[in-house]
Amino acid sequence: MTEFVGDPIKPDKGGFDVAAMSRGEPGLPSGFVWRGDGFQVKSRRKAWKFSERERGHAGGELYLRRHYYELTMSDDSVWTVYFIRQPTKSGSPKARWFLYTIDR
């Protein structure tokens, strides 16, 4: 059953995908901390991107907003996480990774 979460998650220190970072993509961490518990990424199942047209002064140009990943985690749950390219003005500038859904 899929459960919507929508919480910010904290990436583990170290263990990022450096090859992805060299291509200008976020480096997928080797694990995350969510609600005080650590979870390791066992495998990446899928990845996709979300783009949106800029409103207002940018002339409607298309901007990449989020990178999504479907991951199998250390407890065998399946997480959908996303990375926001530009933090919102109202949110924390450090909160860039979010847990979107969990399939248990």
Q: With contact defined as beta carbons under 8 Å apart, do 65 and 42 qualify?
A: no
Single out the residue of 16, 45, 42 nearest to residue 28, CA to CA. Answer: 16
pLDDT score at 95: 78
Give the number of other Cβ atoms within 10 Å of residue 13's Cβ: 10
Does residue 8 contact residue 98 with C-beta atoms inside 8 Å?
Answer: yes
Beta bridge partners of 3: 102
Given this model, what pLDDT does residue 21 score? 67
Enter the pTM of the model.
0.81
HSE-up (13 A, CA, CB side) for residue 84:
18
Q: State the average pLDDT over residues 82-89.
A: 77
- What is the distance between the alpha carbons of residues 8 and 94, in angstroms, rounded to a whole number? 10
Q: Answer yes or no: is pLDDT of 93 > 60.
A: no
pLDDT tens profile 30-77: 999 999 999 999 999 999 998 877 666 666 677 768 899 999 999 999
Say what the pLDDT of residue 40 is. 96
Bridge partners, 58 (sequence order)? none
